[in-house]
Structure 1
Amino acid sequence: MKVWALVLVAAFVIIGISAVDKNKFKTCSQSGFCKRLRPFKPEKSQYSLNLDSILVHGNVLSAEVVTIDAADEKRTVLWKYAFKLSALADGTFRVELDEADPLYPRYRTQLALDGEPKADGLKLISKDDGKVILVNTQGHKVIITSEPLKLEFLDLNGEVAVVLNENSQLLVEPLRARREKVEDEDGDGANQLDDEEGTWSETFQSHHDSKPRGNEAVSLDVVFPDADHVYGIPEHTDGLALKTTTSGDPYRLYNLDVFEYILDSRMAIYGSVPVMYAHGPKRTVGVFWHNSAETWIDVVNYGEGNVVSSLVNLVTGGQKKRVDARFLSESGIVDMFVLMGSTPGDAFRQYTALTGTTPLPPKFSLGYHQCRWNYMDEADVRSVDENFDVHDIPMDSIWLDIEYTNKKMYFTWDVVKFPRPAEMVANLTAKGRKMVVIVDPHIKREPGYFLHEDATELGYYVKDRDGKDYEGWCWPGSSSYPDFFNPVVSRYYSDRYRFENFPGTSKDVHLWNDMNEPSVFNGPEVTMPKDCRHYKPPQDGLEGLAAYWEHRHVHNEYGLWNLRATNTGLLDRADGVYRPFLLTRAVFAGTQRYSAVWTGDNTAEWSFLAASVPMCLSLAIAGNSFCGSDVGGFFKYPEAELMTRWYQAAAFQPFFRAHSHIETKRREPWLYPAATTALIRDANRKRYALLDFWYTLFYEHTVDGLPVMRPLFQHYPDEPATYPIDDQYLLGDALLVKPVTTAGASSVEVYLPGDGPWYDVDTYVPHKGPRITQPVTISKIPVYQRGGTIVPRRERVRRSSALMADDPFTLVVALDANNSARGSLYIDDGETYEYKNNKYIYAKIEFGPDEMTYTLASEGAQYPTGAWLERVVVAGIRAAPRSARLQQDGRQTALQMTLHKGNDVLVLRKPAASMARPWTITFAY
């Protein structure tokens, strides 16, 4: 590597450890299309629907939309557009607007959707007085006003729930050819190209972006009547409920490598999921902006009391409950899905019905992961592994960052530091543990490196603006990037994961795709230039600009294509038998189908611990349930109290991994004082005791599409106090978690929604809300189980989850006011796809005053688990039964019972029922 390249990479590392330099990243005024379109606020939309062109066929209305020259009395048509309204299953609509005859094909996002959306029926009711009224099979009406074009979506009560183009900000910039200037009288301008500012090129700092297609931005405004708040559009750091943007920049969606990102910001970071939900007491609805280009989103909440909303309320004569949003993207077409709700769960499910759910993960991935940049050699890995056993802390996987490779060439090992990788992995798997290694998409341009040689010879790299292999800089130095949009390239990349191509790996080695925004240290905004070229399937007669896609069209989708290629490789290497685990930093719509996510390079500060909750909640309602943050913070060193509280919080978040920067002090749990190590041990053991509860939630997510980690308003949509809460959350509908995220806390304020009761999981003491003050010591994690639920636990925590497979269960029954409760339990082998062949157990558990039942809910499904029922704990018992008898397989057994009168807890000891078959416990009084 050249000396100047080493300096560049070193400088980037140093910059990353200091506060982020905001000047490296664009504001709206520095983003050409945002600066150009944001002020666009006409009094009347130029777009009109041609009523004579309407055709309704099946679930689709198609028509012509035109723009009219408002200054021309003859109403000259300027541009023609193809318009489609589709009715989709489950109360969803799709609105598309594209140029009728574009100069070049406009890019349509390819990979976000999980297949073709399912069609519903669409019926034309009327076409009178410039309005078209349609209805889907569920009864949702759509009213289209022809001039100016406006779409109103009505809920099942006949009230307007969503409006498109109410504010006349619909815009599709037509593609046009670049022409030579006309020679003026003095001869100036002859043979010169049209260089209207920002149309054909842009410059940001020292980076020049050629725009050979010219301007091609799109915009659409959305109105949510009766909404208190809007949520979604991750990834950002300023809270779950989105704020009005009139006093600053809009929210930005543009996947970027932002080292040590800042909090309370609308800046773009690693992920871009353009789905937004609006909620109020009347309903929840949502919109999904199906676009993978750079996107800015303005929000105006008229209930916030800001200057703009106050003026509007003054004009309209009172406080207005409404939120407006506006989506602006650099390219693509207008393609928006409208999710009609009407509950939060309905809207969240409608989105995952479009983009997919997180597949059932391998069970180990729900355990604890130990990572660092970097465990430096095999002896280091062995020492870390052994110390978890010495200190009796459960752990399921050890991770290796980039230093395990041979000079940062992926699919290789450093032959000095890791000479026997297969043996190293086998030592872990003997204890039921796994290994996760990193593979980033930047490929080192190293002569003799097989991957670089193949990609160069076969033309597999992304091309620069001139059609040559694009060369940027990342951790290896000079690097190029595979063009995953080419199916041949993706297939080649997937094959690199085969065991014979990646020696030392096995089914127990899983993957981490980092830096896949893509990160380019010397690129504009630390990413790939927008005028780089990507593969486009050949079409007859299309050449030149029409023969490839620019990076500006696909940027937010690049990481998703990287993930799909990796996921395919992990599946194929073992002939589709084993479930892979994959982690990503870049996020887009549909990422959840392939990968878990984490919140990126955070900092060891209390504020970042607190931010992990709303960041993961935002990702969860946007489909990405498998979310977590780097425990302890990636940068800096967490002192003992912060480290303790971070483990306690992360133990109740879906993805549970400790990770740290190469230049930070080592911080494995046993390197802290013994008292802190004990607290970390306790937090990890709490996680493992609930591992089957987590596993069941993830299985149910694959069925119903609902988030695993949930905002309170999802289950309590009629309680306005829950709407802005983002410092506590629900796991399923059973557990409420309130992490301690401030130093020196002796108590926390907790909001307990609903009628209660909520039982403290440590003491079984019931609480009723809405608000309580919970005393906390350094060992206390405020977690509450909702009355009316049953939570499965395994109290015999071992060194890894695999070793707990046949251990017994404890069922914790938290009674509601009717002395009843319900729960569920999912069991399978934890690693294969045999559950798709009905080799699993999904059981429903019900408790009533007279009996408790365990029934298998999936007909024909069974699994020969050795797990059995060791204990039933019933909290909130009012009248203790005189006796209890277990019935299973035609036999009855009298059970031992103990009543703890101090907290009204009944314990049934050693029922010894098999969890593989139904059973019933009957009570006599």
Structure 2
Amino acid sequence: MRTGTQPGGRLSIECFGMAPILTLWLAVCLSGALAVERANFKTCDQSAFCKRQRALNPGESPYRALLETMELTNSRLTLQLKNDKNKVRLLLELYRLQGNITRVKINELKPLKPRYEVPDVLIREPPTEPLSLLSQDENGVVLSLGAESQRVIVSALPFRLDIMEGRDVLLSLNSRGLLAFEHLRIRKDTFSYLITGTLASVWNNVKSVFSRQADRETEEANLEDEAMLDEKDEEGMWDETFKSFTDTKPNGPTAVGLDFSLPGVEHVYGIPEHADSLRLKTTDNGDPYRLYNLDVFQYELDNPMALYGSVPVMLAHNAQRTTGMFWLNAAETWVDISSNTAGKGSSETPQTDVRWFSESGIIDVFIMLGPTPKDVFSQYASLTGTQAFPPLAALAYHQCRWNYNDQEDVQSVDAGFDEHDIPYDFIWLDIEHTDGKRYFTWDTNKFPTPKEMLQGLMDKKRKMVTIVDPHIKVDSSYKIHNEIKSQGFYTKNKDGGDYEGWCWPGSAGYPDFTREDMRAWWASMFAYDQYEGTMENLYTWNDMNEPSIFNGPEITMHKDSKHGEWEHRDLHNLYGFYVQKATAEGLIQRSGGVERPFVLARAFFAGSQRYGAVWTGDNAAEWSHLKISIPMCLSMGLVGIAFCGADVGGFFKSPSSELLVRWYQTGAYQPFFRAHAHMDTTRREPWLFGPENTALIREVVRQRYSLLPYWYQQFYHTYHTGHPVMRPLWVEYPQDPATYTLEDEFLIGRDLLVHPVTEEGATGVTAYLPGKEEVWFDIHTFQKHNGGQNLYIPVTMSSIPVFQRGGSIIPRKLRVRRSSSCMEHDPYTLYVALSHQRAAEGELYIDDGHTFNFEKREFIHRRLSFANNNLSSVNLAPAAHFSTLSTIERIVMVGATRPTKATLKTADGQMSQLEFDFDASMSVLTLRKPGMNAGTDWTVMLQ
């Protein structure tokens, strides 16, 4: 949607005090320069805890492991850690989890009050596996992890934890001595501090009278109390000012940090969202990567600034192994990355050091030990769940704008797609469709009969999305506001009143989505009798859910606002997760649990994949933004969020015809395919740029629709496995160093390689085709290319280089209609690309496309394979039951030889001869009209 940050920089901030009417604010502010106002967002030096953590020096760890406190059960190790400087003790917990995962938790042994531990992100309490003690001496302990030759070595002084396999160190914790845990304490200038100090002194005197010899534990407890009282306060510990905002910190400094070393690793990935390269850069000479959900106006590229979402997961990869780290903390987090090989000779053994630090909470880290990339994806999915399986229509094309003006405008755009023979499935309405930015309502002047509008779309088997943002207009005549207020569901300010900020409606309240009862109420509002004018073909868009607050610090919520007993600082990055969760549950409930939801959200966290799609936010109509959309979505896929896309054409500014066409060609091969534009841009429906460009856009949208069976099949797999749909080449070719830094091309599943054209005026691109034993076929020309090479490809405006891997079978539907639902019963064409060994395999997945009935085994899942000159379809799910009217109308075999005869054998044993054509110049065999049902067993025999 739109940004909540101010286009005019300081001028726009001043708009709040000078213009109470938000429309006037918009008119003035939108006239400003289109660039991020970086002064609105903190650097590490402006974040007190980040500055404190970064000031620590490596090699000076004050922590030692108290081995005498160790307790080992079948599945859990506990051990106290002591800070020799301030005498504070921590509790270390170590678990071996099923699936080759190790969990490490560190908390205060005796905190003054509980510290925040992230709920609801893990899909369950992870099941454990046995730990066993191998050896112990005064220097440390060695534990078996029970997998191959894996073990954990806990060193006592200084504390260090190494995970080993054989003689190799896979990963080390606190090897640089940067564990830092700011304990809860009493502020020195308070009455409580004076009382505590006096009582401690009196108690010590009493003990000296009645007991000359206190036991050692009591003495150490006294020393700890005195050390805590004597600690010096630094600036920013108890309050912090940024611009005109003061953040009170009633709990004082609570930051936690820990370093990890990865021997043998040069390449790390993940921790979205950043508009940066796929391979993460070292941060020695700049700010760390920041994870703090923010509404950043037209974000800058190639820097580590925080953006809309945060997933604290990092993957480390080399030719031998892939490992992952999941830092389960929802507070503001920074990540430093350094490498001992940066700028050095190749003879030195590489190592990457990573350091995480968060403002509050505890240390809770899951170390996913692979060893393959797909193992790590499955391990992470076992913790936070997999991508929700979307309705098939959600994978088709979406048309959006801020805003389609009224019902007539919607009808005109809808008719325009039919007139120009361009398919689409969803048309979207932004905030202007509501009654004065009151969500769950319609502007009755512009949209007087929404059900009539929706029925018109339904008659064409099309759908609509409306926006429902989580800021609620403060208005006593607005039902939604009144109910939230009367039930006490709003987030509170530090003084206990309802928190209010400014957003699109003007003064707005922010529901406390961390409350389960609040989320249940929110979900109930999507019922057809509550959200009036809605029907089953209306779906939802949650924007501004960082949350975006125009007059808040860093355009978001004050950290000292309250969610029950917890401060917003503890859980900021979870807010958007909860909004999308509640909305998705609402869409499911309104159908009685039958229909799969579709919800798009801008802010996200680990686990958000369970609730819908995300997009890369308010980008710009610039070639650089087109290019960065690829690594941004690849990074999302690596950490579980497979359903990602970018606004086609760029949200801000007006694209040239060339840029728009190239963006359609790129977006058509990314998971979420939506065009979207700012209200100040010229209209850009696909037919407004001349007949030639309309034809180019039509062609690539039709390519998307023809490949929907393959896209749907990939999402079915990611729902079950957690493997990304859009993936970097190194995921499939993990031992090929040439793939490790590629970010201008990608794979869809295993079998389609895409190298979009993202350079203005390009006459050619160079694509890397991986796999020395592989063969790749251009899907447009069927030209054959060997793998393991860089291939120069001349391009015209109609070109988008896409290759099918030899050895694969991909189903398509070539009868493209006005929407995906109209194609439900259409026949399939199978594209069989043969390997060097003249073999191929693939799958065909079919269900009803929109309900949860697939969970009741109502689907068709078949294996397609070609070997020994026989092409066959075999049932992969004998216990499943579903029928289809679709047939196989054509088989195209690429890299084939001419047969003398083609015979079809169907499930009932009947044999028939098939007609075929053979193009000797391209080695393409086409079997015409075989006609068998797509859900049955059959074999085609070539002689």
When normalised by structure 1's length, the TM-score is: 0.94
- From 629, 634, 653, the equivalent of 1:612 is 629
Do residues 201 (structure 1) and 239 (structure 2) align? yes
**1:532-560 C-alpha deviation (Å, 9 max, x unpaired):** 0002xxxxxxxxxxxx1001000000111
Do residues 871 (structure 1) and 890 (structure 2) align? yes
Q: Work out whether residues 901 and 913 of structure 2, in 8 Å CA contact, stay in contact via their aligned partners in 1.
A: no
Give the deviation of 1:885 after TM superposition: 2.7
Q: Which residue of 2 aligns with 1:371?
A: 400
Residues of 1 paired with 2:470 and 2:830: CA distance? 45
Q: Which runs of 5+ in 1 are unaligned?
A: 70-76, 184-192, 536-547
Q: Which residue of 2 aligns with 1:329?
A: 358
Give the deviation of 1:330 after TM superposition: 0.3
Residues of 2 paired with 1:249 and 1:240: CA distance? 17
Residues of 2 paired with 1:238 and 1:160: CA distance? 30
With over 3 angstroms needed to count, the CA separation of the structure-2 counterparts of 1:135 and 1:881, relative to structure 1, is farther
RMSD: 1.8
Q: Which residue of 2 aligns with 1:540?
A: none
Do residues 660 (structure 1) and 677 (structure 2) align? yes
Q: Which residue of 2 aligns with 1:250?
A: 288
Q: 1:579-658 to 2 correspondence within 5 Å?
A: 579-658=596-675
Do residues 505 (structure 1) and 534 (structure 2) align? yes
- From 61, 75, 78, the equivalent of 1:59 is 75
Q: Work out whether residues 377 and 721 of structure 2, in 8 Å CA contact, stay in contact via their aligned partners in 1.
A: no
- From 173, 176, 185, the equivalent of 1:164 is 173
Q: Partner amino acid for 1:518?
A: P
Give the deviation of 1:493 after TM superposition: 1.0
Give the deviation of 1:182 after TM superposition: 10
Q: Work out whether residues 178 and 194 of structure 1, in 8 Å CA contact, stay in contact via their aligned partners in 2.
A: no
Do residues 886 (structure 1) and 895 (structure 2) align? no
Q: Work out whether residues 22 and 505 of structure 2, in 8 Å CA contact, stay in contact via their aligned partners in 1.
A: no
With over 3 angstroms needed to count, the CA separation of the structure-2 counterparts of 1:15 and 1:859, relative to structure 1, is farther
Q: Which residue of 2 aligns with 1:143?
A: 153
Q: Partner amino acid for 1:124?
A: L
Give the deviation of 1:659 after TM superposition: 0.3
Residues of 2 paired with 1:880 and 1:245: CA distance? 60
Q: Work out whether residues 12 and 521 of structure 1, in 8 Å CA contact, stay in contact via their aligned partners in 2.
A: no
Residues of 2 paired with 1:879 and 1:320: CA distance? 53
Q: Work out whether residues 490 and 510 of structure 2, in 8 Å CA contact, stay in contact via their aligned partners in 1.
A: yes
Q: Which residue of 2 aligns with 1:698?
A: 715
Give the deviation of 1:194 after TM superposition: 9.5
Residues of 1 paired with 2:402 and 2:738: CA distance? 42
Give the deviation of 1:882 after TM superposition: 3.4
**1:235-282 C-alpha deviation (Å, 9 max, x unpaired):** 011110001101110000000000100111110010111100111112
Residues of 1 paired with 2:363 and 2:892: CA distance? 55
Q: Work out whether residues 897 and 925 of structure 2, in 8 Å CA contact, stay in contact via their aligned partners in 1.
A: no
Do residues 396 (structure 1) and 425 (structure 2) align? yes
- From 748, 764, 785, the equivalent of 2:804 is 785
Equivalent position SS for 1:4: coil
Equivalent position SS for 1:671: coil
Q: Work out whether residues 730 and 740 of structure 2, in 8 Å CA contact, stay in contact via their aligned partners in 1.
A: yes
**1:749-808 C-alpha deviation (Å, 9 max, x unpaired):** 000000221100001111124111011110011000011111110000000000111101
Residues of 1 paired with 2:424 and 2:825: CA distance? 18
Give the deviation of 1:128 after TM superposition: 2.6
**1:710-767 C-alpha deviation (Å, 9 max, x unpaired):** 1000011111010000110001110000000011111000000002211000011111
Q: Work out whether residues 904 and 938 of structure 2, in 8 Å CA contact, stay in contact via their aligned partners in 1.
A: no
When normalised by structure 2's length, the TM-score is: 0.92
Residues of 2 paired with 1:751 and 1:658: CA distance? 29
Do residues 274 (structure 1) and 312 (structure 2) align? yes
Q: Which residue of 2 aligns with 1:767?
A: 785
Q: Partner amino acid for 2:451?
A: A
Equivalent position SS for 1:462: coil
Give the deviation of 1:33 after TM superposition: 0.2
With over 3 angstroms needed to count, the CA separation of the structure-2 counterparts of 1:182 and 1:375, relative to structure 1, is closer
Residues of 1 paired with 2:180 and 2:48: CA distance? 15
Q: Work out whether residues 393 and 685 of structure 1, in 8 Å CA contact, stay in contact via their aligned partners in 2.
A: yes
- From 84, 98, 103, the equivalent of 1:94 is 103
Give the deviation of 1:13 after TM superposition: 4.8
**1:414-469 C-alpha deviation (Å, 9 max, x unpaired):** 01100100110111011111110100000001121111112222211101111110
Q: Which residue of 2 aligns with 1:124?
A: 133
With over 3 angstroms needed to count, the CA separation of the structure-2 counterparts of 1:158 and 1:886, relative to structure 1, is farther
Do residues 304 (structure 1) and 322 (structure 2) align? no
Equivalent position SS for 1:271: coil
Q: 1:169-208 to 2 correspondence within 5 Å?
A: 169-180=178-189, 196-208=234-246
**1:186-236 C-alpha deviation (Å, 9 max, x unpaired):** xxxxxxx99742111000000000000000000000111111210000001
Residues of 2 paired with 1:593 and 1:333: CA distance? 24
Residues of 1 paired with 2:335 and 2:756: CA distance? 31
Residues of 2 paired with 1:835 and 1:862: CA distance? 9
Residues of 1 paired with 2:339 and 2:881: CA distance? 51
Give the deviation of 1:179 after TM superposition: 2.8
Q: Which residue of 2 aligns with 1:901?
A: 920
Q: Which residue of 2 aligns with 1:473?
A: 502
Give the deviation of 1:52 after TM superposition: 1.8
Q: Which residue of 2 aligns with 1:849?
A: 868
Residues of 1 paired with 2:921 and 2:248: CA distance? 74
Q: Which residue of 2 aligns with 1:824?
A: 843
Residues of 2 paired with 1:163 and 1:346: CA distance? 20
Q: Work out whether residues 270 and 314 of structure 2, in 8 Å CA contact, stay in contact via their aligned partners in 1.
A: yes
With over 3 angstroms needed to count, the CA separation of the structure-2 counterparts of 1:257 and 1:847, relative to structure 1, is same
Q: Which residue of 2 aligns with 1:420?
A: 449
- From 431, 434, 455, the equivalent of 1:405 is 434
With over 3 angstroms needed to count, the CA separation of the structure-2 counterparts of 1:17 and 1:863, relative to structure 1, is farther
- From 789, 799, 804, the equivalent of 2:818 is 799
Q: Work out whether residues 898 and 918 of structure 2, in 8 Å CA contact, stay in contact via their aligned partners in 1.
A: no
Give the deviation of 1:80 after TM superposition: 1.3
Do residues 727 (structure 1) and 764 (structure 2) align? no
Equivalent position SS for 1:557: helix
Q: Which residue of 2 aligns with 1:776?
A: 795
Do residues 910 (structure 1) and 929 (structure 2) align? yes
Residues of 2 paired with 1:126 and 1:408: CA distance? 65
Residues of 1 paired with 2:619 and 2:494: CA distance? 34
With over 3 angstroms needed to count, the CA separation of the structure-2 counterparts of 1:298 and 1:195, relative to structure 1, is closer
Q: Work out whether residues 899 and 942 of structure 2, in 8 Å CA contact, stay in contact via their aligned partners in 1.
A: no
Q: Which residue of 1 aligns with 2:727?
A: 710
Residues of 2 paired with 1:849 and 1:360: CA distance? 35
**1:545-580 C-alpha deviation (Å, 9 max, x unpaired):** xxx100100000011111111111111111100000
Residues of 2 paired with 1:523 and 1:195: CA distance? 27
Q: 1:680-695 to 2 correspondence within 5 Å?
A: 680-695=697-712
With over 3 angstroms needed to count, the CA separation of the structure-2 counterparts of 1:671 and 1:11, relative to structure 1, is closer
Equivalent position SS for 2:569: helix
Do residues 113 (structure 1) and 122 (structure 2) align? yes
**1:827-866 C-alpha deviation (Å, 9 max, x unpaired):** 0000111111111011111111331111110121121111
**Structure 1 segments (4+ residues) deviating >4 Å:** 193-196
**1:640-699 C-alpha deviation (Å, 9 max, x unpaired):** 110000000000000000000011100001111110000000010000000010000000
Do residues 40 (structure 1) and 56 (structure 2) align? yes
Equivalent position SS for 1:645: helix
Q: Work out whether residues 111 and 557 of structure 1, in 8 Å CA contact, stay in contact via their aligned partners in 2.
A: no
With over 3 angstroms needed to count, the CA separation of the structure-2 counterparts of 1:773 and 1:912, relative to structure 1, is same
Q: Which residue of 2 aligns with 1:213?
A: 251
Equivalent position SS for 1:614: helix
Equivalent position SS for 1:66: strand
Q: Which residue of 2 aligns with 1:360?
A: 389
Q: Work out whether residues 19 and 25 of structure 2, in 8 Å CA contact, stay in contact via their aligned partners in 1.
A: no
Q: Which runs of 5+ in 2 are unaligned?
A: 1-15, 193-230
- From 267, 291, 295, the equivalent of 2:333 is 295
Residues of 2 paired with 1:812 and 1:152: CA distance? 49
Residues of 1 paired with 2:666 and 2:182: CA distance? 47
Q: 1:429-440 to 2 correspondence within 5 Å?
A: 429-440=458-469
Q: Work out whether residues 709 and 812 of structure 2, in 8 Å CA contact, stay in contact via their aligned partners in 1.
A: yes
Q: Work out whether residues 232 and 275 of structure 1, in 8 Å CA contact, stay in contact via their aligned partners in 2.
A: yes
